[in-house]
């Protein structure tokens, strides 16, 4: 996986999200009352397109994983619990895809709040993004990628040697403040990491 691969991997998730929301829109036009957020763009955040973050505190930059969480055999659709679905109002069927077998994707959709994307990247860690660690998620080093105004939050979490979780929250077309979107992204990512730890018993 090349640097910036996160954009390519999650683009497949965006495509599924877009098609699903188009279907929801069709139902709405046919007379079924449904609140539908705008569809996702064809490609998501590109690390190279985002302004560099400020230098993180040394405690974050030097964070070490509290455990090894290997992703072999872990599918992203398994990492969102029923409690998370209720919390984020996820009310559509999961949309799995695997354009890259080493980085399967699952899209979770709320017809009232937006889209959530999780990818279990098994052949490249966060170092492939070419960006410094500037956050932690559940104690794990992470890269927080932000492009203010695009209504997307993105976190890539270092969970094992050469492996990472890519997690994205989309609030496209909403009037939600950027900082609220980033807080939602952090909360969603914490839940994904906690579910992975529980699944692996670590």
Q: Return the domain boundaries, the chain.
A: 5-200
Burial degree of 51 (CB within 10 A; 0-12, 13-18, 19+): exposed
E strands of 65-177, at which residues? 95-97, 105-110, 114-121, 135-137, 140-145, 152-160, 163-170
CA distance 50 to 155: 13
Q: What average pLDDT does this structure show over 48-63? A: 53
* Average pLDDT, integer, range 147-175: 94
Q: Which positions ≥6 away from 57 have C-beta within 8 Å?
A: none
CB atoms within 10 A of CB 105: 28
DSSP letter at 131? Answer: -
**pLDDT over 90, % of the chain:** 64
pLDDT for 57: 62
What confidence category does residue 39 fall into, taking pLDDT thresholds of 50, 70 and 90? very low
pTM of the model: 0.77
The answer to whether 6 and 47 are in contact (CB under 8 A) is yes
Tens of pLDDT, residues 77-136: 999 999 999 999 999 999 999 889 999 999 999 999 899 999 999 999 999 999 999 999
Average pLDDT over residues 21-39: 41
What mean pLDDT is reported for the chain? Answer: 79
The alpha carbon of residue 128 and the mean position of all alpha carbons in its chain are separated, in whole angstroms, by 17
Residue 153: helix, strand or coil by DSSP?
strand
Could you give the CA distance from residue 155 to residue 67 in angstroms, rounded to a whole number? 18
Whether the pLDDT of residue 40 is over 70: the answer is no
DSSP assignment, residue 166? Answer: E
């Amino acid at each position: 996986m090349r640097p910036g691969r996160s954009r390519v991997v999650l683009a497949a998730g965006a495509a599924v999200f877009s098609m699903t929301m188009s279907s929801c829109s069709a139902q709405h036009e046919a007379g079924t009352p449904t609140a539908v957020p705008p569809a996702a763009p064809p490609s998501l955040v590109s690390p190279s397109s985002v302004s560099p973050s400020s230098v993180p505190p040394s405690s974050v930059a030097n964070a070490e994983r509290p455990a090894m969480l290997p992703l072999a055999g872990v599918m992203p659709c398994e990492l969102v619990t029923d409690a998370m679905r209720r919390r984020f109002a996820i009310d559509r069927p999961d949309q799995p895809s695997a354009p890259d077998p080493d980085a399967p994707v699952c899209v979770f959709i709320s017809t009232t709040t937006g889209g959530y994307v999780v990818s279990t990247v098994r052949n490249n860690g966060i170092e492939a993004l070419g960006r410094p660690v500037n956050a932690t998620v559940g104690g794990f080093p992470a890269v927080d990628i932000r492009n203010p105004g695009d209504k997307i939050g993105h976190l890539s979490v270092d969970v094992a040697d050469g492996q990472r979780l890519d997690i994205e929250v989309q609030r496209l077309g909403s009037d939600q403040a950027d900082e609220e979107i980033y807080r939602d992204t952090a909360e969603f990512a914490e839940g994904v990491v906690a579910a992975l730890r529980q699944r692996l018993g670590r």
